[in-house]
Amino acid sequence: MQLLILILVGLISLNYKVAPIELRERFYLDDAQKIVFHNLLKKKVGVEGLMLISTCNRTEIYFEFENHIGKENKFIHSIVKELSEFRNFKDSLSPYLIKQTGSYNVSRHLFRLACGLESMIIGEFQIVEQLKEAYDFSYKHRMLGPILNRMVQKSLETGKFIRTNTQIDKGAVSVSYAAVEKVHKSVEILEPEFLCVGLGETSKLSIKHLHQKDYSNIKIANRTDSKSVDFAKSLGLTAIEFKLFKKELANVDVAIFSTSSKDPLISKSELTKIRKESKKELLIIDLSVPRNIPNDCSDIKNVKLINVDDLKDAVNHNYKKRRSQIVKAEKFIEDFLSDFDDWTNSRQLRPSILSIKKQIKNIVIEETIENVNSSSSEMDANLFDSDGFNKRLDKVYEKFSDNLVRKIRQASNNGKDEKAISIINQIFLDD
């Protein structure tokens, strides 16, 4: 009896909904770590395809695996085990994870993600760029399998359609915008002085939002000084050398940090010393994961520290403004999901369909010609060898095979009925 082996997909997500920032920091994976982890999973677990998304709000592992039906949970357990060991995490990770298997469930999450429905701020666009970067990285390093490849492309298509046909992303809202709104409400000074450290996408958006609100006293620092000079010049702002940013903390009213540094950029003792002579209040907004500013800096007099988790109130407010569009977006998502689900399920029938067509072709064409050639006169044989006869024979083959394939699709609910697939494969697959 032939065992039914399929290519399945799964998802392990550690995100802001279920995991605190301290844990998300620990499981953040940079590009070099993604390659190492991919090679580890391929060797120890046997993944056939992999895509990793790692941002300030989530680390998500999308994977393909060849498996016997019913062993999905065992496979996921193996990946979680390897992830915990990879990051030297001794406690149970499962309470902080969202786990999904099956193309429909996984693609539903990914399609929602691409539309901004899984973001802290509904409809935010930054996740689209992050998803594209994750896809391009996996594609470049040959990590993707065929189902994941198609799934990501379909998710981007879904997101583009929904952003065009709903109001889900209208208005300048994002995590960076929530930070600027916090500044606008918290700082009562008429012309506050700003320091923005870092020039990643989030930081650039924060600076642009500040600029749009007519804040002009903004100094920008980045490890690559030329980048800060160019960006500051484009907005008519001021760039400072990166090595001077700590000194500026004695004078500014607001400091926004958003860098990819794995280590804190300043210690509590350093900041205490810098702020010792200053009587001004300092609002620090740390949008980085891992965090750039240690949490204990909030104990310093006249220093208020806000990180990404502290912005949830602003996020929830923006969510309410957009929730009227969620139902409309979800209906569109279901349509795209239905198309993708049909495609993935029909893939399960592909081996049988190819085998069926091969067998029919052998029977209808090759055996017919052989019998004709062995029993007909030379004149008749020449007639049967003509192009017209071969074309008619091809039509018979196509009509018969297409009719049989159509009935097989119907009998298996287009590949969704696993028991039917098993029976069909036993009948038609070559041993």
Q: Which of 56, 115, 196, 297 is catalytic?
A: 56
| 219 beta partners | 195, 238
| 56 is known as an active-site residue | yes
What secondary structure does DSSP assign to 125-147, as a single string?
SHHHHHHHHHHHHHHHTT---HH
Q: Nearest to residue 178, comparing CAs of 289, 308, 325, 15?
A: 308
Tokens of 429: 């697959």
How far is residue 236 CA from its own chain's centroid?
Answer: 35
Separation CA 305–CA 293 (nearest Å): 8
Separation CA 212–CA 206 (nearest Å): 10
Separation CA 267–CA 273 (nearest Å): 10
Tally of CB atoms within 10 A around 221: 24
Q: Nearest to residue 337, comparing CAs of 101, 62, 108?
A: 108
Give the N- to C-terminal CA distance of the chain in Å, as an integer.
10
Separation CA 246–CA 304 (nearest Å): 16
* DSSP at 202: H
| Bond into 20 cis (ω within 30) | no
Which residues are designated catalytic?
56
